[in-house]
Amino acid sequence: MDKLINRQNFTYLILVLLWSCTYEVVPEPQNCDDTPKLQVVSVTDTDCGLASGAVQVESSGGEAPYFFRLNGEGERVDGSFSGLSAGSHTVTVKDANGCEETLEVQIANRDGVNTTVAKVDASCGSTNGRIDVATEGGASPYQFRINDQPYQSNNTFSGLTPGEYEVVTQDANGCESIQTVQLTSGVAFEIAETIVKNNCALSNCHDGTISPDFRTAATIQNRAGRIEARTASRSMPPASSGRELTDQQIQDIACWVGDGATIEK
């Protein structure tokens, strides 16, 4: 009889542990200590109003073969891109291990307006970000717009939250220059790491006994999107754990992920 009771208690304990923590089997993230490097081989500027610019890049380091993307679109085995408009373009290389490196390339207008931007990042959960646009060349007056907003004569955009913005400048001849600007929140990885470790990497829950193991920085980064989704829905940590994140902690995780989920110190 005592053995039966002990067996029932043991079974109940296992059920409680499984109920109090989500079990996920995920592959270990790749070691990206040796990331691939990008170098610009050549840049061809564009004529005003046309998408005739081009850029060629090459990669070294990491582990071949390499795969290249332009502005987050598509994937190809060579680093040559053409048909580009004036402004900023982001080239990304991924090696055989899945490790990535990005590089921003500027395509200029040969006979029209060219722009540079200065930014003030926005604090997490705030609207204190700002973007200032400086113009060179082309024909004045200039007009400026951000994302899908109407054009304005003012070259400053304020009251911005963290995130990615497309800033378009148009001169009197209709020539455009487009800049992509990322405003970050400044939430360091250490903040997100502390929240996750203190509330999720607990005994019998993501502490090495349950997968994934949130005691390691690489795993937290590798699962950043999932962590953001589950903390936002308040399913992590589960209610049965007796722990609950504050609204600020949830927002801090979302801001860290929105900044790119980097783990650099």
218 CB-contact burial (10 Å; exposed 0-12 / middle 13-18 / buried 19+): middle
Whose tokens are 């193991």? That residue is 213
Q: Is the model's pLDDT at 69 over the cut of 50?
A: yes
Q: Is the model's pLDDT at 15 over the cut of 50?
A: no
Q: Is the model's pLDDT at 130 over the cut of 90?
A: yes
Instruction: Quote the pLDDT of residue 3.
Output: 47
Confidence band for 222, pLDDT divided at 50, 70 and 90: confident
**Cα separation of 1 and 7, whole Å?**
10
CA angle 109, 113, 119 (to 5 degrees): 105
Q: Is the model's pLDDT at 78 over the cut of 70?
A: yes
Average pLDDT, the chain: 87
Q: Is the model's pLDDT at 201 over the cut of 90?
A: no
- Report the pLDDT averaged over residues 215-238: 91
In order of their start, the domains of the chain are 37-107 (2.60.40.10), 114-183 (2.60.40.1080), 187-265 (no CATH)
Q: Which residues pair with 115 in a beta bridge?
A: 135
Q: Is the model's pLDDT at 2 over the cut of 60?
A: no
Instruction: Quote the pLDDT of residue 18.
Output: 43
**Cα separation of 18 and 11, whole Å?**
11
Q: Is 232 helix (H, G, I), strand (E, B) or coil?
A: helix
> Closest Cα to residue 25, out of 207, 210, 164?
210
Comparing 24-33, 149-158, 191-200, the range with the smallest average pLDDT is 24-33
Instruction: Quote the pLDDT of residue 264.
Output: 73
**Cα separation of 196 and 218, whole Å?**
13
Q: What is the pLDDT of residues 153-170, one digit of tens each?
A: 999 999 999 999 999 999
Confidence band for 24, pLDDT divided at 50, 70 and 90: low
Q: Is the model's pLDDT at 111 over the cut of 50?
A: yes
Q: Is there a cis peptide before residue 162, judged by omega within 30 degrees of 0? A: no
Q: Is the model's pLDDT at 32 over the cut of 80?
A: no
Element at 194 (helix H, strand E): helix 189-199
The residues, ordered by sequence, that sit 6+ positions from 122 with a Cβ below 8 Å of its Cβ are 128, 129, 160, 161, 162, 183, 184, 185
Provide, rounded to the nearest whole percent, the portion of the chain with pLDDT above 90: 68
Q: What is the pLDDT of residues 89-102, one digit of tens each?
A: 999 999 998 899 99
